Amino acid sequence: MVNKPTVLVVEDEPSQREILMYNLEADGCIVITADNGDDAVLLAEEEQPDLIILDWMLPKMSGIEVCRQIKRRATTRDIAVIMLSARSEEVDKIRGLETGADDYVSKPYSVPELMARVRARLRRARPSTVGAELSFGDIVLDATSHKVTRAGQPIHLGPTEFRLLSTLIEHPGRVWSRDQLLDRVWGRDVFVDTRTVDVHIGRLRKSLCQNGGEDPLRTVRGTGYSLG
Ligand code: CA
């Protein structure tokens, strides 16, 4: 990684905050912290961290509400959120609440396990092209600002389509199987039907061709997809 990833830790208990800070910094992250929900929402907006580790139990605004607010705002909704909660039953409960969190970990967590999840999220949030613009033909993808243009015209993509294009544009010409794309874009630990890949490729294709131009995505029969 060119730049260190930034992680926002939202936790009101100082000892818990310390443990997280220590381990994240040891892992090469820049850590910023908040001990309440209002600060968390503000910091997410101002600092644009790569990842937020968010405790459910916070004074005043709960972690669930913080997560909802972050996922509601266009400027922060693409930031990955890992929610922490005190018991696994709570994890089951908040999973059902559609908070928009990307992952859930119950306390007491094992530090190596949490760090593994953090790394997995950061790998997805920050492709190896941090700070760089990648292009393919007249398509330009800026991994930092999450902007895509084609022939100078902005192309609006959903987060999944953006990750798909990031993956494909990093290796033009490479043929990806649906399973490989699932691993790269959705993650190994998520159960998604391979047909979902087709749906999102279809959306990506439509967005990329919205202003005309040739379809850059190639369907390789029986195998998968490639760019170019
Ligand atoms: Ca707490």
Distance 73 CA to ligand 1 centre (A): 24
User: Six-digit token pair at 26?
Assistant: 């040891």
Interacting residues of 43 by C-beta distance below 8 A, sequence separation 6+: 8, 32, 34, 49
Distance 74 CA to ligand 1 centre (A): 27
Task: Encode 78-92: b = buried (16+ Cβ within 10 Å), e = exposed.
Answer: bbbbbbbbeeeebbe
Query: Cis (ω within 30 of 0) for the bond into 59?
Result: no
| pLDDT the model gives residue 100 | 84
Q: Map the chain to HEC letters.
A: CCCCCEEEEECCCHHHHHHHHHHHHHCCCEEEEECCHHHHHHHHHHHCCCEEEEECCCCCCCHHHHHHHHHHCCCCCCCEEEEEECCHHHHHHHHCCCCCCCEEEECCCCHHHHHHHHHHHHHHHCCCCCCCEEEECCEEEECCCCEEEECCEEECCCHHHHHHHHHHHHCCCCCEEHHHHHHHHHCCCCCCCCHHHHHHHHHHHHHHCECECCCCEEEECCCEEEEC
Instruction: Give the pLDDT band (50/70/90) at residue 177.
Output: confident
Given the DSSP bridges, would you call strands 80-85 and 103-106 parallel, antiparallel or unpaired?
parallel
Global pTM exceeds 0.75: no
Distance 59 CA to ligand 1 centre (A): 8
Distance 188 CA to ligand 1 centre (A): 29
d(CA 45, CA 67): 13
Q: Which residues surround ligand 1, an ion (CB under 5 A)?
A: 12-13, 55, 57
d(CA 143, CA 201): 19
| pLDDT the model gives residue 131 | 53
Q: What would you measure as the largest C-alpha separation in the chain, in angstroms?
A: 56
Distance 53 CA to ligand 1 centre (A): 11
The neighbour count for residue 173, using CB atoms within 10 Å, is 10
Distance 17 CA to ligand 1 centre (A): 9
**Which of 32-41, 87-96, 104-113 is the least confident region?**
87-96
Mean pLDDT of 141-167: 91
| pLDDT the model gives residue 126 | 59
Distance 10 CA to ligand 1 centre (A): 8
d(CA 105, CA 107): 7
AA letter at 103: D
| pLDDT the model gives residue 133 | 82
Mean pLDDT of the chain: 87
**Torsion from C-alpha of 114, 121, 144, 162, nearest 10 degrees:** -160
Domains of the chain by range and CATH?
6-125 (3.40.50.2300), 131-227 (1.10.10.10)
Mean pLDDT of 73-100: 79
